[in-house]
Structure 1
């Protein structure tokens, strides 16, 4: 038409394609394609390579404007062990974690729905997921048409130390427990830092937990025998203090990374807490307990199912159950001159 002015479409470089899910309200952004080649003979080497050479991709996909402060991503990588159906690197706002149960729950359902498992069976399909902490076996309910709820068996979980006294500047001397469920977490009742999980602001909870984590990192050396990649504190979990043996539902909040708040009950955190309660004889083998997010009200169940030895330590394998849901899919792009679009956090 006369006078028509055509604007040339801007060129933009594809970053990646994702499938969006959530488990108990906690995001699961599964990166299914578009990520650069990752080098490494083991999954821990692959995780280290991404951290050292491709961290700008994590920031671009997780941070604003595509994500947010509490976004969580699962990067699918090539398995390096024969038994695995798929392998995953977990990414959060401040870096990488060795285990994430809420991702395993959604990812196991995704694997069945998208044919990543060779042998799909009813009423359950077995999915082996290689995580940085080790091989995790999930069982996905399947009715012949649709995948549903998921349970998974953890890597060996154990108590690292109990009643550790740490000096936290704002709160003074506190006693915490540290337990491992694929990653190390500290546990303390919220009332010990003057908070109530039901009524306190979530940022007050996050700040307090982060201060406890910072103090532990300064004062307590955490070591996983023979593996430096696993030898660090992932975060602090503030509980409602309900550790009684009667099996009532208990609430807690997991704060990890850079004050990132888990909306779900946190699968690896529940694993570590079940191991801690079993160690304290508050839960018996094959006894199920429910753990609830104090904000979304989502529930994961956990139970110790098998005693194991980890070097000189005694621990358990824990079964965690929950359900993941689909939210959509995304194709992310980046224009070459978009410096802000490379990722930022407020």
Structure 2
């Protein structure tokens, strides 16, 4: 059996966050839904995530999206999201990147103008609207997950930081939302390291004090994310802008503002009476990139007012490549890979 294996990738970025889209080289995964296939990867085949996010192939700041066949006939294809913290069921930036990659690769044929289709994520079906101009994918609008406020303006003492006021939103994961100005930040690139250290301390303190439960999903694990919020500026009728940045893991600040972070902001601004149906918020990152969230509808789930929303952004293709994996390389860990890599690599006839 050859020890050399290959994967086909399309590298993309949205707002600066790089997503590696795996379009070939992986065998079909067990599971009757994309969610079940994600759980199989998480529990039995985590080697792919580790391989592509660690040296020598990647760095933890990247994400990986594996294209899989859709299990719902309404979807064109499915995708599984892999990040340094694990397997989120949804991500706005990863969805924008995946939608762009399936169009640019021809998995979904491009149509000039506005084009709508469905993708299947581990969270379920996602409606996509692509704007194609002169054959170029200029923008992707995707549904954000329904978002709500779990906790509003709680306070906690954080060692090395002091008293911190925070809110908790769910928008595909639980987010701590904190006012950047209250913590002394202007949300500029030079603050990136201090933002990461501060966020890590706050998240650890909240994790030690309490957990959070989704109204249908139940316990989805400890609080993973923190979103720093800058002042909100009204740009025009129904359009707002705010500097923002999202922490996702120790030493990892997203280069974009993140789609789920933007959805969380929409939920908070509605909760505070500052946003109405049809209003939009542009979040602007440390690197001056942005996503636009739109508050599209509202419904009630028990005690929670749930904000339905969309996220719009642009993704760029960085590279189309074959990744060569040599299992004899001492830096490469192939355990957890052989049983999902395409059978044409296994030496089978």
Matched ranges for 1:1-346 at <5 A = 12-117=3-108, 121-143=111-133, 145-198=135-188, 200-228=190-218, 230=220, 232-242=222-232, 247-294=239-286, 296-342=287-333
Runs of 5+ unmatched residues, structure 2: 335-349
Q: CA deviation at 1:248?
A: 4.5
Distance 1:199 1:33, change over 3 A: closer
Unaligned stretches of 5+ in structure 1? 1-10
Mapped to 2, the partners of 1:287 and 1:173 lie a distance apart of 32
| Matched pairs, number | 331
Which one is further off, 151-160 or 22-31? 151-160
| Residues 58 and 249 of structure 1: CA distance in aligned 2, closer, same or farther (over 3 Å) | same
1:147-171 deviations in Å (ceiling 9; x for gaps): 3211122231211211122332222
The alpha carbon displacement at 1:106 in A equals: 2.0
**Which sits farther off after the overlay, 13-22 or 228-237?**
228-237
Provide the C-alpha distance between the structure 1 equivalents of 2:105 and 2:189, rounded to a whole number of angstroms. 41
CA distance in 1: counterparts of 2:231 and 2:204, whole angstroms: 22
Change (3 A) 1:160 1:81: farther
TM-score where L is the length of structure 2 = 0.87
Aligned partners of 1:15 and 1:35 also within 8 Å: no
Shift of 1:174: 1.7
Q: CA RMSD in A?
A: 2.3
Mapped partners of 1:96, 1:213: distance in 2:
19
Q: Do 2:240 and 2:280's aligned partners in 1 also have CA atoms closer than 8 Å?
A: no
Q: Is the 8 A contact 2:233 2:241 kept in 1?
A: no
For normalisation by structure 1, the TM-score amounts to: 0.87
C-alpha distance in 1 between matches for 2:229 and 2:329: 42
Equivalence for 1:4: none
Moved more, 312-321 or 262-271: 312-321
Q: CA, structure 1 residues 272+156, in 2 after alignment: closer, same or farther (shift >3 Å)?
A: same
CA-CA distance at 1:274 after TM superposition: 0.9
Give the 3 Å change call, closer, same or farther, for CA 179–303 of structure 1 in structure 2.
same
1:44–1:229 contact (8 Å) kept in structure 2? no
Partners of 1:219 and 1:252 in 2: CA distance: 25
Residue 228 (structure 1) shift: 4.4
Larger CA deviation: 232-241 vs 13-22: 232-241
> After superposition, what is the alpha-carbon deviation per residue over 1:211-240, rounded to whole angstroms, capped at 9, x for unaligned?
211222222221113424745423101122
Q: Deviation of residue 208 (structure 1)?
A: 0.9
Aligned partners of 1:87, 1:220: CA distance in 2, in Å? 34
Cα contact 1:63–1:71 (8 A) shared by 2 = no
In structure 2, how many angstroms separate the alpha carbons of the residues matched to 1:64 and 1:225? 38
Relative to structure 1, is the Cα distance of residues 112 and 260 closer, same or farther in structure 2, using a 3 angstrom cutoff?
A: same
